[in-house]
């Protein structure tokens, strides 16, 4: 309302909402008829339609016709119908003076359920206050929905303004983007990572208006997509931060599309982007149709995939799509074997004339203008110093593993990252640190294993648990095991993996597929066999004392950008 009006008569309007003072009508909240048949977008009622009988919710709300008729076309139409019938009631009321109370107009507010009543009241209150009574994203969307149906002038626009403000609030505070700043946020502070308005917005996707019908909602959608990208930060954060991983799985397809389509969404490699999509698709395939899957998959920049993906993952996905039943979970990536081969050829071709010639001929068969063929790199999420993830082995886990050590045998003890995960995703693959302990040795080995993530282990897929693919892979990383002296940590071991060496074998059927450093952790005494071999108890752990602190053996895995 204008400043002059707000200081004059308008200043009294907020106090009138819901008040009997000067009230000349009642608003009745009722169950809309044929609730099960209600369209997603509620139809506007004709001026000549009589109000239907309905179940009432709560107490009537005192209203003021001057305010409501000016604020809402719907309420004005109801009053016009009421006025049209007033003449028919006049004779009956004249014969029965006691019926004068019945002349008080009643405005009906149809609801899908009683749960909508607070939001309908909030939408009506806007007519009096000019303020959206909503304390969050969901509430603002609910109020907006009711305001649009009740045709409360200006309320939907005010809700949109509120939503944009909520969704853009994280820009200045930096909320949700710590993972992209290169530090240890995904490794050390997952429990404290806040949810965001963007996640709440995506969870309310069913409440959103059709942008084709309400183009004014477009700025809200744009702000929500930008906020979603800020919240997840990058592909590595989304895959390796437990809370973000869970939120990723709960996104609607439009949310995943917003991430993949954004030029601000970072990654260590395009392989991790495809893994992110595969992770979401495995959990949500049943909620998608062929058109949605095509739309999402088309956003992956396939020519930027690394060799393990080009030579193994992409051909297998293409074969699954061509040979598995249409619509089956393993046939989710819509690409032909021939095009997958062409993309692999193009991605590994020498820059210049060879690439140009391939594109010249390839464009006759394939849409080489699609994102599949985009050479525009996404933002690199790994800074020069790398991103560090903490890992640990509890003393209990170590002791339980050593109990199983047999004479002349060996045991492997796997580390866990913050959040409890045994693996870390990078370059589209999973990486697992572990210790190797052999019987009667005076030192332990440190290893890093590589594997294909479970997201690709789909029934019927050529990438499943029974598949026999083999390839090699590399990783740029630094693996550290801590030693402790007087409560102060030190680097007892530092191992360096270089992507160019391709040190890792990748294959579900392979027994040894890692990079290792033998005998790099000296032990204070030879490692004896476990309980079955005569060792055990505190004697078994004595040799590990220099590496244990607060009941844990700790270390870090730092992912580095490929030079």
Rounded Cα distance between 514 and 497, Å, is: 11
CA 124 to mean position of chain CA atoms = 34
SS (H, E, C) 97-154: HHHHHHHCCEEEEEECCHHHHHHHHHHHHHHHHCCCCCCCHHHHHHHHHHHHHHCECC
Please give the average per-residue pLDDT across 277-304, as a whole number. Answer: 98
Please give the average per-residue pLDDT across 273-286, as a whole number. Answer: 98
Q: Which residues contact 293 (CB under 8 A, 6 or more apart)?
A: 281, 332, 333, 334
Please give the average per-residue pLDDT across 300-329, as a whole number. Answer: 96
Long-range contacts of 31-35 (CB under 8 A, 24+ apart): 31/55, 31/56, 31/57, 31/110, 31/111, 31/112, 31/113, 31/114, 32/110, 32/111, 32/112, 33/110, 35/112, 35/113
- Strands 416-417, 410-414: pairing is unpaired
Residue 533: is its pLDDT beyond 60? no
Q: Give the 3-state secondary structure of residue 390.
A: strand
Residue 556: is its pLDDT beyond 60? yes
Share above pLDDT 70 across residues of the chain, in percent, rounded to a whole number:
84
Local confidence band at 49 (pLDDT 50, 70, 90 cut-offs): low
Please give the average per-residue pLDDT across 18-35, as a whole number. Answer: 86
* Total-model pTM: 0.87
- Residues 470-525 pLDDT 10s: 999 999 999 999 999 888 899 999 999 999 999 998 888 776 668 889 999 999 88
Residue 528: is its pLDDT beyond 60? yes
pLDDT score recorded for residue 42 = 52
pLDDT score recorded for residue 468 = 87
Share above pLDDT 90 across residues of the chain, in percent, rounded to a whole number:
72
- Residues 68-102 pLDDT 10s: 999 999 999 998 888 766 555 555 555 555 544 45
Local confidence band at 539 (pLDDT 50, 70, 90 cut-offs): confident
Residue 144 exposure: Cα atoms within 13 Å on the Cβ side: 24
Please give the average per-residue pLDDT across 145-149, as a whole number. Answer: 95
pLDDT score recorded for residue 411 = 94
Closest C-alpha among 340, 257, 248 to residue 296: 257
- Residues 178-234 pLDDT 10s: 443 333 444 444 543 456 899 999 999 999 999 889 999 999 999 999 999 999 999
- Residues 99-114 pLDDT 10s: 444 578 999 999 999 9
Copy the structure tokens of residue 350: 């020498």
Please give the average per-residue pLDDT across 375-388, as a whole number. Answer: 97
- 214 and 248 Cβ atoms separated by less than 8 Å: no
pLDDT score recorded for residue 43 = 52
Q: Give the 3-state secondary structure of residue 552.
A: strand
pLDDT score recorded for residue 521 = 95
pLDDT score recorded for residue 444 = 95
- Sorted by where each starts, the structural domains of the chain and their CATH numbers stand as 3-161 (3.30.710.10), 171-301 (no CATH), 302-375 (no CATH), 387-559 (2.60.210)
CA distances from 394 to 397, 416, 547 (A): 5, 9, 11
Mean pLDDT score across all residues of the chain: 87
Residue 177: is its pLDDT beyond 90? no
pLDDT score recorded for residue 82 = 81
- Residues 384-423 pLDDT 10s: 999 999 999 999 999 999 999 999 899 999 999 988 889 9
Residue 361: is its pLDDT beyond 90? yes
Local confidence band at 176 (pLDDT 50, 70, 90 cut-offs): very low
- Residues 424-447 pLDDT 10s: 999 999 999 999 999 989 999 999
């Amino acid at each position: 309302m204008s400043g002059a009006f707000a200081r004059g008569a308008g200043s009294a309007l907020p106090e009138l909402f819901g008040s009997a003072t000067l009230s000349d009508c009642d608003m009745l909240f009722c169950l809309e008829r044929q609730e099960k048949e209600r369209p997603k977008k509620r139809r506007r009622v004709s001026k000549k339609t009589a109000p239907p009988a309905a179940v009432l919710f709560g107490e009537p709300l005192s209203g003021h016709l001057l305010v409501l008729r000016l604020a809402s076309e719907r309420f004005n139409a109801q009053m016009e119908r009421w006025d049209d019938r007033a003449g028919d009631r006049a004779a009956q009321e004249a014969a029965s003076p006691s019926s004068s109370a019945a002349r008080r107009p009643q405005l009906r507010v149809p609801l899908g359920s009683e749960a909508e009543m607070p939001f309908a009241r909030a939408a009506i209150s806007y007519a009096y206050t000019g303020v959206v009574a909503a304390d969050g994203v969901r509430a603002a969307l609910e109020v907006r929905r009711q305001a649009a149906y009740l045709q409360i002038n200006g309320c939907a626009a005010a809700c949109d303004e509120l939503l944009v403000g909520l969704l853009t609030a994280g820009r200045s505070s930096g909320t949700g983007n710590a993972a992209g700043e290169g530090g240890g946020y995904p490794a050390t502070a997952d429990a404290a990572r806040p949810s965001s308005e963007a996640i709440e917005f995506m969870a309310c996707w069913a409440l959103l208006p059709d942008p084709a019908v309400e183009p004014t909602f477009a700025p809200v959608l744009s702000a929500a997509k930008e906020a979603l990208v800020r919240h997840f930060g990058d592909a590595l954060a989304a895959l390796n931060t437990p809370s973000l991983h869970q939120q990723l799985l709960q996104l609607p397809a439009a949310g995943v599309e917003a991430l993949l389509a954004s030029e601000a969404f970072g990654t260590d490699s395009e392989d991790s982007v495809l893994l992110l999509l595969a992770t979401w698709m495995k959990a949500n395939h049943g909620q998608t149709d062929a058109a949605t899957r095509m739309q999402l998959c088309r956003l992956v920049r396939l020519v930027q995939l690394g060799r393990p993906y080009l030579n193994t993952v992409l051909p297998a996905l293409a074969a699954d799509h061509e040979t598995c039943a249409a619509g089956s979970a393993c046939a989710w990536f819509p690409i032909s074997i021939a095009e997958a081969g062409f993309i692999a050829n193009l991605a590994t071709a020498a820059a210049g004339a060879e690439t140009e010639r391939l594109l010249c001929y390839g464009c006759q068969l394939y849409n080489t203008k699609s994102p599949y063929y985009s050479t525009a790199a996404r933002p690199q999420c790994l800074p020069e110093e790398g991103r560090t993830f903490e890992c640990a082995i509890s003393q209990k886990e170590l002791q339980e593993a050593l109990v199983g050590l047999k004479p002349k045998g060996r045991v492997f003890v796997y580390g866990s990252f913050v959040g409890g995960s045994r693996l870390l995703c990078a370059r589209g693959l999973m990486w697992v640190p572990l210790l190797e302990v052999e019987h009667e040795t005076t030192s332990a080995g440190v290893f890093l294993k590589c594997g294909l993530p479970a997201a690709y282990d789909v029934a019927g897929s050529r990438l499943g648990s029974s598949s026999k693919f083999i390839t090699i892979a590399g990783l740029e990383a630094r693996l550290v095991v801590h030693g402790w002296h007087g409560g102060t940590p030190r680097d007892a071991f530092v191992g360096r993996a270089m992507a160019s060496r391709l040190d890792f074998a990748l294959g579900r059927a392979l027994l040894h597929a890692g990079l290792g450093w033998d005998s790099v952790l000296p032990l204070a005494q030879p490692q004896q066999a476990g309980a079955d071999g005569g060792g055990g108890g505190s004697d078994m752990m004595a040799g590990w004392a220099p590496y244990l602190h607060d009941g844990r053996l700790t270390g870090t895995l730092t992912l580095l950008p490929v030079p």
